[in-house]
Amino acid sequence: MDKKKIMKKILLILILIIPFLNNIAKDQNPYLIRMHVIEIEGNTNAFIQANKDYYKPLAVQAVKDGKWAGWAMFRSFSKSNVFVFFHHYSSPEQYAKGGSIWGSDIAKKLGLKAKNNGTSTGQKSYASKEYIESYSPVDGAYIGSVGVTTKADYERVVKVSQKAYTKWRTMPSPKRGEIVRQYGEALRANKDSLGKLVSYEMGKSLQEGYGEVQEMIDICDFAVGLSRQLYGLTMDSERPNHRMYEQWHSLGLVGIISAFNFPVAVWSWNSMLALVCGDVCIWKPSEKAPMCGVACQNILQKVFKANKVPEGVSCLINGDYKVGEYLTKDKRVPLISATGSTRMGKIVNAEVAGRLGRTILELGGNNAIIITPSADMNIVLPGAVIIIALLIITPSADMNIVLPGAVFGAVGTAGQRCTSTRRLIIHESVYDTVKNKLKKAYKQIKIGNPLSAKNHVGPLIDTDAVEAYSETLRRVKEEGGKIIVAGGVLEGKEYK
């Protein structure tokens, strides 16, 4: 190894060690170090020139506020177009702002901070002593933190919501629909930023992240139309000169508990319809994707502020299942919509039914695709990998349709959807054909950073999900199952 390479390595070690020791001396977290490996297509010198204000080869700089935050870049020894970037941050706030995949521009557009209040009644929000820290399953990087709602803060939210309901329900439904329409427009303007946040915090592919925000936009459009169709029947009375009619009334406070796999869309499905019907909403997002909840609330409140909507029409609370129990046990909340596992749904249903409340439950499934000989495999198998819950495949099925559907239904959102394909029921006459085509399809699937359009599948949400996946594979083998496409937990620094 020549002297230049040795000097580069020594300098790199110093760059890593100096901030480590410096942070220890200042009693700060020494572990906030992020590394990126970037392969540049095209002229590398042009890239350096275009980014010279941010990336400076083998350089260390100080931050103006006095807190040390340095970074460095060096060219790979093996490839001239591959660069490794090291970023050092002296606080979680700096770490969240600098170097993350979705970047500070997106955080600014969505109104996100390194530390966010997790309890909000609209224009007002409340700090907390306890916070949920959100780390991306994509690269393990710290995204930000969200405050946990206390019982006292929850009571404050409910009281503000009750007051808001008395005003919101009297607003004509077409006017409520107009406010929802404006929220849909705001989502269109923020689709790119919110879609990337969904992908980065939850781990689904970028196209799925964009698709989830599009579902929010679509439900806004649907709700706008619904706001002018809240019809009631009219009928003759047996009494002379009398006529009868029915009029639907809003319920009041609607509690929404959403899951990590659809961190924004499920809330919108419930809340936009509830809002045009005259209800007010209290939302508890998943504690595994709390930043998405804050972002949605921030966008909505800008619309509400412009329309002078009463404080408390759409509220946000955060925390684990204990905070969710504030809603499920509260007699002041007549309707609970909860999305999650079947086990969770049974608990929620029993609790709410015990107080004669109402529930909307969207729970897990054990979805099957039935493949008949007439199925078109080019359509069925890809779809089965993504989302299809039930597909019947007969001997006459066109395999060009069957195969795409089957594969797509299973691997979409890394198989973490309630509608994910879990079983294939295949007619014996096409069994071998389907199996061989599936093997070929799975070998073409690329797993990696979901923000890259080259990859089809991103990471599971957390290490608990990985362990559950591994345990399922163990059970398959124990029960006599055969794995036809070798899988398992991916190894390497980029997968930790």
C-alpha distance across the termini of the chain, in Å:
31
Indicate which residue of 281, 418, 479, 491 is catalytic. 418
Helix (H, G, I), strand (E, B) or coil at 122: coil
Q: E strand or H helix at 373, and its extent?
A: none
3-class SS of residue 486: coil
Please enumerate in sequence order all residues whose Cβ is within 8 A of that of 391, keeping only pairs 6 or more positions apart, or say none.
369, 370, 371, 380, 383, 384, 402, 405, 406, 409, 421
Q: Is 418 a catalytic residue?
A: yes
User: What are the φ and ψ backbone dihedral angles of 407, each rounded to 5 degrees?
Assistant: -70, -45
230: Cβ contacts below 8 Å, ≥ 6 apart: 173, 248, 276, 277
Strands 253-257, 335-339: pairing is: parallel
User: To 10 degrees, what angle do helices 173-189 and 191-202 make?
Assistant: 70
Residue from 294, 278, 246, 256 nearest 170 by CA: 278
Task: State the Cα–Cα distance between residues 182 and 100, nearest whole angstrom.
Answer: 30
Task: Give the Cα separation of 231 and 367 in Å (integer).
Answer: 36
Q: Which of 362, 467, 478, 479 is an active site residue?
A: 362
315 catalytic? Reply is no
Which residues does the annotation mark as catalytic? 362, 418
